[in-house]
Chain A
Amino acid sequence: MISVSEINLVGRVVEILSEMDSWCGETHIQKTAYVAKVVEHVPFESNFVLYKHGPYSFDLNTVLNHMRSQNILVVTPQAPYGSSYRLNEGLWAALSRAAGQRFDEYDERVRFVCSRFARKKVAELERIATAIYVRLNFGALNLQQQIRKLNELKPHIGLPEAQNAFSEVEAFFQGTQQG
């Protein structure tokens, strides 16, 4: 799953999240990539599963580690919280030059998702990304049933929080249609 395409798309997520003053921890990258893939059809190759804290990709984690080992990504400790990811700008500029304009067509869609997720906290990202997962995978259910399904899948997300998450998801989807 470590490909030029995946490295470039993940790098763009990190670049745009950083531009938007995001904390840019792994959760931000994971949830942004998930939503960009399933809603905006950005061609991330990583496969996602519903994991402990919502949609998660072990493939994407491998790509992040690869980019770390190549020093394309730099992990900055932010004790007592989790680490932030930043691009090594020099190497990233060289990789972007090498890729040319191959991935430019996805910028707007990635930017849209980043604009909604960049400043969110980890718990909010989990709720919203999981609500999107439920909306897309349990489309036959009505809204109230989807809210209960989210609570059933992630019992630590209470019904009021689940309801709020679906309100945000609704606004998100309206934004995608307007875009």
Chain B
Amino acid sequence: MVEETIKDGKLAPSSEQVDLSPAYFLVEQLKNKFGGDGLYYDRYFQSTNSAVFPVLMSDNRIEVSTQVSEVIRNIPLTKIAYIFARPDLAQNVMSWIEKNRDDVLTGSQK
């Protein structure tokens, strides 16, 4: 959803933004609403391709896995993002996300 919104120009990344995940856009709005102190944004974007390993071929040559397998070459990279909230804020944060998620991610958040 967020990718289409960005492409349509309804959601604009900032000039310093390297994270285009939906959670990033949500946490930026949450910080405006609840302040940054009680929120923690954590992400993991796979930066190395663990699918690259040596393969012993039947003729004893050693090849790179990604060179011999189209499937291995195109395994998608993992991308995970979490938003944590302090316990006293958690319920309100969850309610806010429930109510505003679509508006934020479709760029209609005022």
Give A residues with C-beta under 8 Å from B.
Answer: 2-4, 7, 61-62, 65-66, 68-72, 75, 77, 79, 82-83, 88, 90-91, 93-95, 97-100, 102
- Give residues of chain B (55-75) contacting chain A, Cβ–Cβ below 8 Å: 66-67, 70, 73-74
Interfacial chain B residues near A3, Cβ < 8 Å: 18
Give B residues with C-beta under 8 Å from A.
Answer: 3-4, 6-7, 9, 12-21, 45-49, 66-67, 70, 73-74, 77-79
Main secondary structure of the interface of B (DSSP, over half): loop
For the A-B complex, the count of residue pairs with Cβ-Cβ distances under 8 Å equals 72
Question: Assuming A83-B73, A90-B3, A94-B7, is B15 touching A4 (CB within 8 A)?
Answer: yes
A46 CA / B54 CA spacing, docked (Å): 25
Interfacial chain A residues near B21, Cβ < 8 Å: 70
* Contact of A99 with B15 in the complex, beta carbons under 8 Å: yes
Q: How far is the CB of B21 from chain A (nearest CB, A)?
A: 7
A72 CA / B6 CA spacing, docked (Å): 11
Closest B residue to A91 by beta carbon equals: B6
* Contact of A66 with B45 in the complex, beta carbons under 8 Å: yes
Q: How far is the CB of B69 from chain A (nearest CB, A)?
A: 10
A94 CA / B13 CA spacing, docked (Å): 7
* Contact of A4 with B18 in the complex, beta carbons under 8 Å: yes
Q: How far is the CB of B44 from chain A (nearest CB, A)?
A: 9
Q: How far is the CB of A14 from chain B (nearest CB, A)?
A: 16
Interfacial chain B residues near A7, Cβ < 8 Å: 18
